[in-house]
Amino acid sequence: MDALALPVGTTLDRFIMRKQEDFPFASGELSQLLRDIALAAKIVNREVNHAGLINIGGAYGSQNVQGEEQQKLDVVANVRFIRALRNGGEVCTIISEEEDDMIQTGNCHGKYVVAMDPLDGSSNIDVNVSIGTIFSVYRRKSAFDKDGDLLDCLQAGTEQVAAGYIIYGSSTMLVYTTGNGVNGFTYEPSLGEFFLSHQEIRIPEEGTIYSCNDGNYWQFNEGVRAYLDYCRKAGFTARYTGSLVGDFHRNLLKGGIYLYPATDKTPKGKLRLLYECNALAFVVEQAGGFASDGKNRIVKIKPQELHERTPFIIGSRKMVETALHIMQEEKDWPVPA
């Protein structure tokens, strides 16, 4: 067939309109919120691609609430997403990795709260490794006509109405779920549109990839070390870039497990529950996988503070189940034949 005659495909906007019946309570507001996120993603995609040309790579010169050095692109992405969500009018309150406190948008009638990591893995931008945005959407619990409050923000992951991520790599993709499966959209920059490219994503039940910072091996507890030994004996492939979105995305499509357990230095874990772990846990469960802190299902944990940290194990269901068995028994485990 002539390439010029091939169909362009389904745009994100068209897909959202078709799926609006999946969340009838929203009356179109959630659809608009997802469009706002997509708009911000397009702008950040432009900034990421131009980073080496307009001097916005590298460190910004300050630290965020986590005590981590902010990169210039962290600040840029944070501003872009906040502005898009504020202007869209559907979000009353935002929680961001880059901000100490809740961000009130002034949209007192907004039905939703968004928790986000505007640019995960941004320290990798200078070496051209994939980075990403993670977002999580909740319905507000408080009364309208005022700002959102802390109870709106501190909801368990089971209360999410939408979640997903954008990965900025060799191509830019937006992957999201509203609780009715997971779909991925690839950005076509010449047309300025996201097109449906990965429909009804399902993570393989088993995999042969494990993603973990092996440099922390002697800081992990015996159970975690036993699982990593099992992976090595089984001949699994180690793949770890330090970019959560990049590592998760690969495992989602190919099958694998990602681990960021507690260490001696970070006994409560390092990744943030509200705007990193909950969102990806919702996505992976909708794709047939599983996420745990080593003892509990991630989305069942009730957060106590905005920037709460947690150990994180996520990926193919059978791989995560095996990891949990080994970690709890802290002993050798028979490798697959």
Say whether pLDDT at 197 is over 90. yes
What does the pLDDT read at residue 127? Answer: 80
100 annotated as a binding-site residue: no
Weakest mean pLDDT among 18-32, 145-159, 165-179, 247-261? 18-32
97 annotated as a binding-site residue: yes
260 annotated as a binding-site residue: yes
Kindly state the DSSP code that residue 234 receives in the 8-state scheme.
T
**Residue 193 and residue 214 share a domain:** no
Weakest mean pLDDT among 54-63, 134-143, 325-334? 54-63
39 annotated as a binding-site residue: no
Q: How confident is the model at residue 74 (pLDDT cuts 50, 70, 90)?
A: confident
Range of the domain at 306: 209-329
**Residue 267 and residue 172 share a domain:** no
183 annotated as a binding-site residue: no
Last residue of a domain, one of 177, 198, 219: 198
What does the pLDDT read at residue 335? Answer: 72
- Sheet containing strand 91-96, edge to edge, reads 103-104, 91-96, 112-120, 131-139, 160-168, 172-177, 182-188, 193-198
Q: How confident is the model at residue 207 (pLDDT cuts 50, 70, 90)?
A: very high
Task: Report the alpha-carbon distance of residue 294 to residue 307 in Å, rounded.
Answer: 19
What does the pLDDT read at residue 6? Answer: 44
What does the pLDDT read at residue 124? Answer: 80
**203 inside domain:** no
Q: What integer best gives the mean pLDDT of the chain?
A: 89
Task: Report the alpha-carbon distance of residue 309 to residue 289 in Å, rounded.
Answer: 21
**Residue 214 and residue 184 share a domain:** no
**Residue 235 and residue 156 share a domain:** no
pLDDT tens sequence across 158-193? 999 999 999 998 899 999 999 999 999 999 999 999
**Residue 194 and residue 213 share a domain:** no
117 annotated as a binding-site residue: yes
Q: Are 283 and 177 in contact (CB under 8 A)?
A: yes
Across residues 243-253, what is the average pLDDT? Answer: 97
Task: Report the alpha-carbon distance of residue 69 to residue 188 in Å, rounded.
Answer: 32
292 annotated as a binding-site residue: no
Task: Report the alpha-carbon distance of residue 200 to residue 180 in Å, rounded.
Answer: 9
Count of CB atoms situated within 10 Å of the CB of 175: 26
Please give the full DSSP string across 20-37, using - where no structure is assigned: GGG-GGGTTHHHHHHHHH
**311 inside domain:** yes
Last residue of a domain, one of 141, 174, 198: 198
- Domain CATH for 229: 3.40.190.80
**Residue 151 and residue 111 share a domain:** yes
- Domain CATH for 33: 3.30.540.10
Pairs from 86-92 (Cβ < 8 Å, separation ≥ 24): 87/36, 88/32, 88/33, 88/35, 88/36, 89/32, 90/29, 90/30, 90/32, 90/33, 90/36, 91/33, 91/36, 92/140, 92/147, 92/148, 92/152
**Residue 252 and residue 127 share a domain:** no
Across residues 43-68, what is the average pLDDT? Answer: 62
**335 inside domain:** no
**Residue 232 and residue 147 share a domain:** no
**Residue 30 and residue 165 share a domain:** yes
**Residue 124 and residue 160 share a domain:** yes
* CA trace torsion 57, 59, 63, 68 (10° rounding): 80
Last residue of a domain, one of 152, 174, 198: 198
213 annotated as a binding-site residue: yes
The number of CA neighbours under 13 Å toward the Cβ of 309 is: 14
**217 inside domain:** yes
**Residue 171 and residue 151 share a domain:** yes
Burial of 21 (0-12, 13-18, 19+ CB in 10 A): exposed
Say whether pLDDT at 97 is over 70. yes
Across residues 96-117, what is the average pLDDT? Answer: 95
Say whether pLDDT at 56 is over 60. no
pLDDT tens sequence across 292-323? 999 999 999 999 999 999 999 999 999 999 99
Say whether pLDDT at 52 is over 60. no
58 annotated as a binding-site residue: no
122 annotated as a binding-site residue: yes
Say whether pLDDT at 4 is over 90. no
pLDDT tens sequence across 277-298? 999 999 999 999 999 999 999 9
Count of CB atoms situated within 10 Å of the CB of 325: 14
Give the count of domains, the chain: 2
